[in-house]
Amino acid sequence: MSIPALADAELQEVLAFTVALARKAGELILEGSAVIRATGAVDEKKNAVDLVTEYDRRVEELVVAEIKARYPGFKFIGEETSSARAPMTEEPTFCVDPIDGTTNFVHGFPHVCISLGLILGKRPVLGVIYNPFLDELYTGLRGHGAFLAHPATRPALAPARLPLSAPRPFPNLQGALLGVEWGSDRSAPLMDKKAASFTRLGGNPAEGVAGGKMAHSLRSVGSAALNYGLVAQGGLDVYWEIGCWPWDICAGAIIAQEAGCLVAGKHGAPLDNDVDEEILWGRKYIVIRAIGDSPTEKGVDAQKRLVREFYDTVEDFDPPAPKA
């Protein structure tokens, strides 16, 4: 994959800027949380579970203004302002979800973050995810690793490199902890496919679930970006979702790659860990944690085998096209 040069020092500077911006946005998200829960001021986008608040828009406005002031030449893709897919260019492009986990935000469920990714040469190269409720700051920079820090509550603690512990073996899906989401597409055909997928991932084949993998459990955190962070740190083994957008996953993808994860798109697509434009806009996402080499299988081969096994277990479906 060819990525146009942006000097390393420049990227480090962009990372420092992006971290500061994420923390500033985090303050606005915290302020907004109290206001939204007091006023109940929530709007619907495509349906009654696809939510947006005044603070999604205000955080995006803050982010756009700060990026324009500091990097006027950079392009921008954002959840609240980029309704249509524009062709990607080779230029540095911020890809931002101002509040990922809006449903959690509205309910006061504290798994909410801002997700800021930088795309260069049509690939994510830098990612910052910040959950201000739990003070979790995930960062990743191409070639420099991924880290988790707690800047407000534990400022003296050095950021921890991801994954947080040496990659454990991962022989099969049985025994895995899997991140899945219900998403906001709720038609009967899609709900049937999601429910059937979850049943097979968790179900016991010895007790009648045909094709059941009997994973340890399934988790729905409610934020794609935080799911990537959790797989990068090794807390989740796999995260899979259909229906998200580039701004949900861009920052998470580079953080996960830098933590040794395999990041991929739709069923049957190449498993070469190249997060290109097709994957970014493909709306079908899977990421699997780092796996150490075993005497019989290299970690990267185990990742590919398990992604194939996962995709053979779940149902594929196409998310509905957004309303014009």
Q: Which residues pair with 75 in a beta bridge?
A: 93
Query: In angstroms, what is the minimal distance from the CB of 223 to ligand LIP?
Result: 5
- Residue 33 has a CB neighbour count (10 Å cut-off) of 22
Instruction: Choose, by CB under 6 A, the member of 102, 131, 139, 233 that binds ligand LIP.
Output: 102
Q: Put residue 42 in one of left, alpha, beta given phi > 0 → left and psi -120 to 50 → alpha.
A: beta
SS3 at position 166: coil
Instruction: Choose, by CB under 6 A, the member of 223, 233, 257, 273 that binds ligand LIP.
Output: 223
Instruction: Choose, by CB under 6 A, the member of 25, 137, 180, 224 that binds ligand LIP.
Output: 224
Q: Which two tokens stand for residue 150?
A: 């707690």
> Please, are residues 104 and 220 in contact by the beta-carbon 8 Å criterion?
no
Instruction: Choose, by CB under 6 A, the member of 26, 29, 63, 97 that binds ligand LIP.
Output: 97
Q: Is 309 a catalytic residue?
A: no
User: Binders of ligand LIP among 236-295, rule CB under 6 A?
Assistant: 241, 244, 248
Query: In angstroms, what is the minimal distance from the CB of 88 to ligand LIP?
Result: 20
> Please, are residues 149 and 233 in contact by the beta-carbon 8 Å criterion?
no
Instruction: Tell me if 60 contacts ligand LIP by CB under 6 A.
Output: no
Give the dihedral sign, CA 65/184/319/111. positive
Q: Is 97 a catalytic residue?
A: yes
Question: Which residue's entry shows tokens 């490199």?
Answer: 161
Window contacting ligand LIP (CB under 6 A); options: 8-16, 137-145, 181-189, 199-207: 181-189
Cα(241)–Cα(283) distance, integer angstroms? 8
Q: Closer to ligand LIP by CB, 180 or 215: give it.
A: 180
Q: Find, among 111, 144, 124, 122, the residue nearest to 229 by Cα.
A: 111
Instruction: Tell me if 18 contacts ligand LIP by CB under 6 A.
Output: no
Instruction: Tell me if 184 contacts ligand LIP by CB under 6 A.
Output: yes
Catalytic residues: 79, 97, 99-100, 102, 248
| Site of interaction with ligand LIP (CB under 6 A) | 79, 97, 100-102, 181, 183-184, 223-224, 241, 244, 248
